[in-house]
Chains A and B, each alone.
Chain A
Amino acid sequence: MQLDAVVLFFVLGLAAGVLKVRLPFPGGLYQSLTLFLLLAIGLKGGAALAEHASLRIVRESLLVVGFGVVLPLLAFPLLRYVGGLNRINAAAIAAHYGSVSVATYAVAVAVLDAAGVAYEPYFPLFVVLLEIPAIIVGLVLAKGLSVGLANRQLAHETLLSPGIVLMVGGLLIGAFAGDSLSKISPFFMDLFQGALALFLLKMGLITTEQLGALKQDGPFLTAFGIFMPLLAGGLGALLGHGLGLSVGGITLLAVLGASASYIAVPAAMRVALPQANATLSMAASLGITFPFNVLAGIPLYLLLAQWLHS
């Protein structure tokens, strides 16, 4: 079995966390790497959008947004009626699982690049689009149809969260910069894999911190954190196949469905549902679903995509 180099950095972080090694990883570096990755993904997607803009992408985008609405609706009854969670916590966790993880997406892109599998280059657009619908659905599930983005602070946290602003900003810069993009490409494109590897080292450490919360009371959430990516990844792959995407595109749509958010949703939920237990959401999405996707999910979605495409 051969694992991708960036994934092995994640395994190193996991091992260091489990062994309680005090790795001197500055918080500022982690934030800088996050900023770098979000901008780089946005720039890459923006450049691709400028080249491939078409009505087909608009149609695909609408279906992808619909996909983002359906996912929390699948997660909520499981959390509520099988897991026995109260309405607020079930809705908050469902919102996390309807949204996406940029880190998981970045790993999937790295794996596809390493394997030489082509994919539609405008996928960062879908990453941005999938961040938001699940938040709104989560709020409706928690509070009923009377809520929405009427709350100004919530609208700000949802639509102008740092992650979304950086990715959309990168998309716009990439789309309108034209040839001048080549001036910054050596920094944002060539260093991407190395930055991602360092970022995943830190994510491995963070994952082991989150696992502690599940040791006590989380057998159900552990299973949910594994089941949801399998279900949503399968549905994403089927949607990608239905849209006529390439093998890489089907894989990436499966990954987007399977991943759970750590950017927009936690910040929005903190404003909209302050009574929700954020530890539950983060432990499941970061402690279970993220490592599951990185270590087992992505290769599985790639195989599924190859099988569907053949």
Chain B
Amino acid sequence: MPQHTRQRLFILLVALINLGLAMALTANGHAGIPLGVIGTALLPLAWLAGRNPAAITDAQRGGDSYAA
């Protein structure tokens, strides 16, 4: 299976998990909106996937300045 297909399926899976959790929370009277928004926002990302994230060439940042 091509790499980008695997990525797309994974992103789709994560989106569906979030949407499922959102629905389950809402059905039980809890706030499911944040997970619903996240799940919905992930759906278009599945179609953007396929490029290799390792190709990012930004200057490497140290972690110490973000300590905590």
Contacts and interface: CB of A to CB of B under 8 A. Distances in A.
Interface of A: 1, 27, 31, 34, 37-38, 78, 81-86, 89, 101-103, 162-163, 199, 203, 206, 213, 216-224, 226-227, 230, 262-263, 265-267, 269-270, 277-282, 286, 292, 295-296, 299-300, 303
Give the size category of B's interface with A.
35 or more
Given A220-B53, A278-B62, A262 B14 contact: no
A84 B52 contact: yes
A292 B34 CA distance: 9
A101 B61 contact: no
B13 to A, nearest CB: 8
Nearest to B57: A277
Contact of A278 (B25, B45, B63): B63
Interface string B29-68: 0110111001000100110110111111011111111111
Given A84-B52, A263-B67, 7 more contacts: A34-B68, A86-B54, A162-B67, A213-B58, A219-B48, A263-B63, A286-B66
Contacts, number: 132
Nearest to A261: B63
B34 A83 contact: no
B58 A226 contact: no
Most-contacted residue by chain A among B6, B42, B46, B54 (CB, 10 A): B54
A82 B38 CA distance: 20
B17 A82 contact: no
